[in-house]
Amino acid sequence: MGKTKHGGPMRLPKTPKPGLWVSPVPLGLGKVKPHHIMETAKTVWRNRDNLPYAWRILTQGVCDGCALGVSGLRDRTLTGPHLCTTRLNLLRLNTAPAIPDDILTADTDELRRMSSAELRELGRLPYPMIRERGERRFRRVSWDEAMDRIADKFRAVDPKQAAFYLTARGLTNETYYMAAKTARFLGTNHIDNASRICHSPSKTALKRSIGIGASSCSYTDWIGTDVLVFWGSVAANNQPVSTKYMYAAKRQGTKIIVINPYREPAMDGYWIPSIPESALFGTKLADDWYQVNIGGDIDFMNGVMKHWFEMEKREPGSALDLAFISKHVNGLEELRAHVAGLDWDDIERGSGLSRERIAEFAELLARARSGVFVWSMGLTQHRFGTDNVTQVVNLALLRGFLGRAKCGLMPIRGHSGVQGSSEMGADPFSLPGGDFDPETIARIEKLWGFDIPKWQGDIVGVTLENALLPDDHERRLRLFYTSGGNFLETMPNPDRIRQSLENIELRVHQDIILNTSMLADAREAVILLPAKTRYEQEGGGTSTSTERMVYFSPEIRGPRIGEAREEWRIFLDLARRVKPEEAARSMKAESADEIRAEIALAAPNYDGIQHLRKQGDFFQWGGAWLCEGGVCPTPDGRGRLIPIASPGIRRAAGAFLATTRRGKQFNSMVYGSVDPFNGALREDVLMSPEDAAELGIADGEAVVVHNRFGRFYGRLRTAPVARGNLELFWPEGNVLFPSGVYEPHAGIPEYNTEVKVEQADVFYARKDRKYRTKEAEVPEEDGLPAGAAGAGAQPCRTE
């Protein structure tokens, strides 16, 4: 852990810098770009029935959107206001009134005709509801009736047949902690959270290389670093205020490099509303782009290292930070030998970039005295996501970009709860303050006062597959308790997910709004439990940002919805109903303050959380830099270079590599059918103009994207995408991805695949004789290994 404290917010220069402008034409007239003023006006209109409360949430609460982190309208990086349209879009979730009773109890088939966006617009869940098998409508029940029914089921099933899941939007550390404790109290280790489909490989890779599970640096390190690299991350879209930090960085001479198959317009230029010159003329963000193939990052980074080792041969010290390596890093010779054995032709073919371009990037980094590497799901959502991230760590270790000012490794998080969820133990490989290992288990058992089950819990994807096991299987999922989460719209292969959801005996959805997954049938019943938002919770709550800043969000005065309850209180209630006598001894916390006091004991990094009580309170665990001075929290204090083999992705002739991207949305919540940055519609398939010309398909023509797993009906849209690659919107594109294929170390599902694209007319003309869809087997020729699906299969470990 670092000793140096965060230096506090920095100031932006007051004078403009026209050299950074996108265009001298004011307000980006004639350009495709978001219209922040109009978006703000729409937010005011949408919240017009509850404006004072909406304002109090914005000015007093901690944002429930992404994990950039802000308390009220202030952050710890820059002075000045911090607000974005993502937060404004989410605001209505907090200010909406209750769903009217007649809609809540409408025929389920009517509700099923609505999209998730339409269901969201209905308002908040006000009461516990139940729908028994065969019933067409939900009916209102009392909290006692709902909780007793759930408790009875918990008592009736083997704990290995019950599982918990928690989303990351808006949940607080207090909720994660109580859920993690309750699951273990009830005897199950099947508990997982939303990081499983976004950043689980980041934690796994960082742990195995340098012993940490979080960002090593702070956002202030972006500002003035020599090189700021965004790897598979469109921070300008997903963490919009990060553009302000990028602007500040550029004002200090930082070079911004983006590595991504698609030249994302949001990272090219952005109109930052809170900076007058940028709001008027825009700011050029990326200085250079490396358009790698989907899944080509490992090859690219191997190429960078190969170039460095060649430079070193000619002139030792010209590429590597040899002093840092000798003092703080193991594994140099193994890595050197591995890279020496690689062939440049393979590297070029895999990465999609020429040797010369790779050398340019390598030399830029070699010249840099400091660097910060930021990455996101372009690296993690692969079946080799942990290896992707490991390569980034390898680069940082070779250049000594760790544990000092303006240097670091940052897995930038998209959900306000993702960082805290695992740190509170809400995943099968973690307990509060540690991994699921004998030492931590013993420590936590002593604190909690009950035995923790010792068997390995399943990740959420395996849990859902366990619902399809034979009835007598010991891990056949019979009871599933999910706080948030809409699996039909987040997991690959939605049809199979539906089968799983319908095959569970009792499903409990604890949430603030309705979503499509809740409407799926169950073998016995579906129960809906109304949750409070983070702003309604008595005693407030905390959440942890990407840069490990733990912010306190107070309870905010305003209307309250029906019988909605604090989420941590619901978990506590459940534990007490299932095992009242034991709970009287072990589940004693009665308030948010008491939970925070317990967290401080359970998770040593969170010592300090017990003092957070009022608006604006915060602390950063671990100090400004983890691994400060290059000393890692590994057994010998050193970082570990790990040779990584190429995943060897090769497209079949005429096929494309496909991946997903986000538009106007917050995770699976879509807020607009048109992408404000490129004008694309949700059904658009982005492809390079050269590939489109080769296929003879014109812009706007109907296409079918297909493979063995499914078909996607869309329209072609040409865009600056690397040749041979294409991008679809998420989650719409999920129909093309196989289920049961997980990254072996961290369990993230595979969200990339090989596809063919045809004009719709051509496809229909020959579909019956030529194509089959959705075969159960994962095809060998797609290069996708069969996943470790099924009972007790444990493909994943946090190393």
Shortest Cβ 88–ligand SF4 spacing (Å)? 8
86 binds ligand SF4 (CB under 6 A): yes
The window from 83-91, 114-122, 732-740, 765-773 that contacts ligand SF4 (CB under 6 A) reads 83-91
Shortest Cβ 285–ligand SF4 spacing (Å)? 15
Q: Is the peptide bond before 731 cis (omega within 30 degrees of 0)?
A: yes
662 binds ligand SF4 (CB under 6 A): no
Q: 510: part of which helix (H) or strand (E)?
A: strand 506-511
Closer by beta carbon to ligand SF4, 86 or else 108: 86
Measured from each CB, the residue nearest to ligand SF4 is 65
211 binds ligand SF4 (CB under 6 A): no
Shortest Cβ 70–ligand SF4 spacing (Å)? 5
Count of residues binding ligand SF4 (CB under 6 A)?
A: 14
SS3 404: coil
Shortest Cβ 239–ligand SF4 spacing (Å)? 5
65 binds ligand SF4 (CB under 6 A): yes
The window from 78-86, 492-500, 733-741, 776-784 that contacts ligand SF4 (CB under 6 A) reads 78-86
240 binds ligand SF4 (CB under 6 A): yes
Shortest Cβ 566–ligand SF4 spacing (Å)? 22
Task: Check if the beta carbon of residue 232 is closer than 8 Å to that of residue 379.
Answer: yes
Least Cα distance to 630 among 204, 223, 210, 224 occurs for: 210
Show the CA angle centred on residue 536, arms to residues 530 and 539, nearest 5°: 120
57, 68, 320, 721: which one contacts ligand SF4 (CB under 6 A)? 68
Task: Check if the beta carbon of residue 407 is closer than 8 Å to that of residue 210.
Answer: no
Please give the Cα distance from 535 to 567 (Å, whole number).
Answer: 12
Strand partners, 117: none
Closer by beta carbon to ligand SF4, 547 or else 743: 547
Neighbours of 113 (CB within 10 A): 10
Amino acid at 136: R
Closer by beta carbon to ligand SF4, 550 or else 796: 550
667 binds ligand SF4 (CB under 6 A): no
Please give the Cα distance from 187 to 122 (Å, whole number).
Answer: 37
Question: What is the phi/psi pair of residue 525, to 5°?
Answer: -165, 160
22, 54, 57, 70: which one contacts ligand SF4 (CB under 6 A)? 70
Per-residue buried b or exposed e for 30-54, using 16+ beta carbons within 10 Å of the residue's own CB: eeebbebeebeeebeebbeebeebb
Closer by beta carbon to ligand SF4, 130 or else 669: 669
Q: How far is CA 147 from CA 127, 159, 522, 527, 595, in A?
A: 12, 17, 17, 9, 22
- String of DSSP letters for 536-564: T-TT-EEEE-TT-EEEEE----S---TT-
241 binds ligand SF4 (CB under 6 A): yes
66 binds ligand SF4 (CB under 6 A): yes
How many residues belong to the chain?
A: 799
Question: What is the phi/psi pair of residue 137, to 5°?
Answer: -135, 155
63 binds ligand SF4 (CB under 6 A): yes
Closer by beta carbon to ligand SF4, 87 or else 708: 87
36 binds ligand SF4 (CB under 6 A): no
Beta carbons within 8 Å of 89's beta carbon, 6+ residues apart? 39, 43, 666, 669, 671
36, 76, 82, 357: which one contacts ligand SF4 (CB under 6 A)? 82
The window from 79-87, 214-222, 585-593, 767-775 that contacts ligand SF4 (CB under 6 A) reads 79-87
169 binds ligand SF4 (CB under 6 A): no
Shortest Cβ 770–ligand SF4 spacing (Å)? 45
Strands 549-553 and 541-544: antiparallel
Shortest Cβ 691–ligand SF4 spacing (Å)? 34
Question: What is the phi/psi pair of residue 130, to 5°?
Answer: -140, 145
57, 84, 91, 778: which one contacts ligand SF4 (CB under 6 A)? 84
Task: Check if the beta carbon of residue 758 is closer than 8 Å to that of residue 656.
Answer: no
Closer by beta carbon to ligand SF4, 240 or else 554: 240
Closer by beta carbon to ligand SF4, 69 or else 400: 69
Give the 3-state secondary structure of 258-273.
Answer: EECCECCHHHHEECCC
235 binds ligand SF4 (CB under 6 A): no
33, 36, 76, 87: which one contacts ligand SF4 (CB under 6 A)? 87
Please give the Cα distance from 479 to 158 (Å, whole number).
Answer: 10
83 binds ligand SF4 (CB under 6 A): yes
486 binds ligand SF4 (CB under 6 A): no
Amino acid at 754: E
The window from 27-35, 63-71, 222-230, 561-569 that contacts ligand SF4 (CB under 6 A) reads 63-71
Closer by beta carbon to ligand SF4, 69 or else 378: 69
534 binds ligand SF4 (CB under 6 A): no
Task: Check if the beta carbon of residue 188 is closer than 8 Å to that of residue 214.
Answer: no
Neighbours of 392 (CB within 10 A): 26
Shortest Cβ 87–ligand SF4 spacing (Å)? 4
Q: 378: part of which helix (H) or strand (E)?
A: helix 377-380
The window from 76-84, 356-364, 518-526, 678-686 that contacts ligand SF4 (CB under 6 A) reads 76-84
Task: Check if the beta carbon of residue 292 is closer than 8 Å to that of residue 351.
Answer: yes
SS3 227: strand
SS3 660: strand
Please give the Cα distance from 387 to 701 (Å, whole number).
Answer: 38
275 binds ligand SF4 (CB under 6 A): no
Shortest Cβ 425–ligand SF4 spacing (Å)? 24
- Per CB under 6 A, residues contacting ligand SF4 are 63, 65-66, 68-70, 82-84, 86-87, 239-241
